[in-house]
Amino acid sequence: MKISSVKIISLLFFVLSAFYLYTANQIQVFAFDVNSPFNAKTFPIYLGYAGMFFAGLQILLPEKSVEKVDHKVLDYKRVIYLVIIMIFYGLTILKVGFFLSTSIFLLLSYYFLGERRWKLMLIFSFPFVALFMFLLHGALNIYLRDPLLKYIGIIG
Amino acid sequence: MIEGILIGLNTALSLKNILMVIMGCFFGTIIGMLPGLGPMTAIALMIPITYGFDPATGLILMAGVYYGAVFGGSTSSILINAPGIPGTVATSFDGYPMAQQGKAGKALAIAAYSSFAGGTIAAIFLLFAAPSLSKISLSFRSPDYFALMILGLTAVAAFSSKGQFLKAMMMSVLGLMLACIGQDTLSDIPRFTFNNMNLSDGISFVLVVMATFAMSEALMIILRGTDPSSAAKAISLKELGSIKLDKEETKKTLKTIPRSSVIGFIVGVLPGAGSTIASFLAYGMERSFVNKEEKEKFGKGSVHGLAAPETANNAACSGSFVPLLTLGIPGSGTTAVMLGALLGFGIQPGPRLYMTNPEIFWSVIMSMYIGMVILLILNLPLIPYIARILAVPRTFLIPMILFFSVTGIYLMSFNTFDIFLMIGIAVVATGLRLYKFPMPPLILAFVLGGLMEENLRRSLLISDGSFNFLWDRPLTAIILVFTILIFSWQSYLSLRSKQSSK
| CA pseudo-torsion sign B155, B157, B160, B161 | negative
CB neighbourhood size of B61 (10 A): 28
Residue ranges with strand state E in B204-318: none
Q: Are the C-beta atoms of residues B331 and B139 closer than 8 Å to each other?
A: no
pLDDT band at A142 (very low <50, low <70, confident <90, very high): confident
Q: Is the pLDDT of residue B161 over 90?
A: no
B-chain residues within 8 Å CB-CB of A50? Answer: 173, 176
Find out whether B342 and B451 touch, Cβ atoms under 8 Å.
Answer: no
d(CA A125, CA B342): 33
Q: CA–CA separation, B254 vs B307, rounded Å?
A: 9
Reply yes or no on whether the pLDDT at A20 is more than 90.
yes
In 3D, which of B66, B64, B89, B65 has the Cα closest to residue B76? B89
- Measured between its terminal Cα atoms, the distance across chain B in Å is 58
Supply the mean pLDDT for chain A.
89
Q: What per-residue confidence (pLDDT) applies to B206? A: 83
Between A70 and A46, where is the model more confident? A46
Q: To which H or E segment does residue A155 belong?
A: none
Report yes or no on B149 lying in a domain: yes
Residue B121 has a pLDDT of 87
Lowest mean pLDDT among A28-37, B241-250, B361-370: B361-370
Q: Give A93's contacts in chain B (Cβ within 8 Å).
A: 410, 416, 419
Task: Give the tens place of pLDDT for each residue, B21-76.
Answer: 888 888 888 877 776 677 777 888 788 778 778 888 888 888 888 878 888 888 87
Residue B319 falls within a domain, yes or no? no
Contact B396 A124 (CB under 8 A): yes
Q: Quick check: A79 contacting B, CB < 8 Å?
A: yes
Q: What is the pLDDT of residue B417?
A: 95
Neighbours of B389 (CB within 10 A): 12
**Average pLDDT score over chain B:** 83
From the list B108, B95, B118, B113, the residue with the least C-alpha distance to B302 is B95
Chain B touched by A82 (CB under 8 Å): yes
In a domain? residue B186:
yes
pLDDT of residue B434: 92
Contact A54 B219 (CB under 8 A): no
Higher pLDDT among residues B187 and B132, named by residue: B187
Q: Is residue B315 part of a domain?
A: no
What pLDDT shows up at residue B237? Answer: 62
Backbone angles phi, psi at B138, to 5 degrees: -65, -25
Q: In A, residues 12-31, which contact B (CB 8 Å cutoff)?
A: 13, 17, 20, 23-24, 27-30
First to last CA, chain A: 66
In a domain, B63, yes or no: yes
Q: What share of chain B in percent tops pLDDT 70? A: 91
CA distances in angstroms from B381 to B69, B92, B101, B374, B385, listed in the order given: 16, 20, 20, 11, 9
**Cα-Cα-Cα-Cα dihedral sign, residues B314, B264, B440, A71:** negative
pLDDT of residue A8: 94
**8 Å CB contact of A87 and B423:** yes
* Mutant choice from A17, A102, A113 vs B, greatest count of B C-beta within 10 A: A113
* Residue among A6, A9, A75 whose CB faces B222 most closely: A75
Tell me the helices (H) and strands (E) count for chain B, helix number first. 25, 2
Find, among B218, B200, B21, B229, the residue nearest to B119 by Cα: B21
C-alpha A125: how far from chain center: 23
Residue B318 lies in a domain: no
Please report the pLDDT score of residue A25 as a whole number: 95
Q: Is A123 part of the contact surface with chain B (CB cutoff 8 Å)?
A: no
3-state class (DSSP) for residue B285: helix
pLDDT band per the 50, 70, 90 thresholds, residue B272: low
- Pairwise pLDDT comparison (A66 vs B467), residue with the higher score: B467
pLDDT number for residue B1: 66
C-alpha B13/C-alpha B26 separation (Å) is 18
Contact between B390 and B33 under an 8 Å Cβ cutoff? The reply is yes
Mean pLDDT of the B468-493 span: 89
Instruction: Tell me which residue in B167, B219, B457 faces A79 most closely, judged by beta carbons.
Output: B219
Determine the structural domain holding residue B333 and report its residue range. Answer: 2-244+325-501
What is the count of structural domains for chain B? 1
Instruction: Over range B209-218, report the average pLDDT.
Output: 87
Q: Is B106 in contact with B96 (CB distance < 8 Å)?
A: no
Please check whether residue B262 lies inside any domain of the structure: no
- Cβ density class B293-304: b for 16+ within 10 Å, e for less: ebbeebeebbbb
Q: Is the pLDDT of residue B300 over 70?
A: yes
Q: Closest Cα partner for B159 from B65, B253, B274? A: B274
Which helix (H) or strand (E) element contains residue B183?
strand B182-183
Residues in CB range of B312: below 8 A, 6 or more apart: B118, B260, B261, B263, B264, B267, B275, B278, B279, B281, B282, B283
Report yes or no: B477 and B470 within 8 Å, Cβ to Cβ: yes
Is the CB of A5 inside 8 Å of chain B's CB atoms?
yes
Q: Which of A28, A62, A93 sits opposite B498 (nearest CB)?
A: A62
A chain contacts of residue B432, beta-carbon cutoff 8 Å: 9
State which residue of chain B sits closest to A114, comparing Cα positions.
B395
Q: What ipTM goes with this model?
A: 0.94
Residue B498: pLDDT band with limits 50, 70, 90:
low
Q: B304: pLDDT confidence band, cut at 50, 70 and 90?
A: very high
Assess if residue B288 is contained within a domain: no
Sort out which chain B residues have CB atoms less than 8 A from A79's CB and list them.
219, 222-223, 430
Residues A81-94 pLDDT 10s = 999 999 999 999 98
Instruction: Compute the distance between CA of residue B467 and CA of residue B205 in angstroms, rounded to an integer.
Output: 30
**pLDDT number for residue B413:** 82
Exposed / middle / buried, residue B391 (Cβ in 10 Å: 0-12, 13-18, 19+): middle
Higher pLDDT, B181 or B121: B181
Nearest residue in chain B measured CA to CA from A25? B191
Give backbone dihedrals phi and psi of B191, rounded to 5 degrees, phi first.
-130, 130
**Helical H segments across chain A, by residue range:** 5-26, 42-60, 76-92, 98-112, 118-123, 126-138, 147-152
Q: Tens of pLDDT along B104-152?
A: 888 888 888 898 888 888 878 887 887 777 777 777 889 988 998 898 8
Beta bridge partners of B190: B183
Residue A62 near chain B (CB below 8 Å): yes
User: What is the pLDDT at residue A140?
Assistant: 66
Chain A: give the shortest CA distance to residue B488, in Å. 14
Residue B417 CB partners (closer than 8 Å, separation 6+): B198
Q: Which of A136-145, B383-392, B474-483 has the lowest mean pLDDT?
A: B383-392
Q: Is A63 helix (H, G, I), strand (E, B) or coil?
A: coil
Compute the Cα dihedral for B27, A127, A107, B237 and give only its sign. Answer: positive
Interface test with B, best of A6, A33, A47 (most B CBs within 10 A): A47
Closest CA to A16 of B438, B160, B495, B432: B432
- Mean pLDDT, rounded, for A67-90: 90
Under 8 Å between Cβ of B439 and B167: no
Of A72-76, B227-231, B368-372, which gets the smallest average pLDDT? B227-231
Q: Residue B53: its pLDDT value, please? A: 82
Q: Say if residue B217 is exposed, middle or buried (CB neighbours under 10 Å; 0-12, 13-18, 19+).
A: buried
For A25, residues 6+ apart whose C-beta sits below 8 A from its C-beta are A41, A45
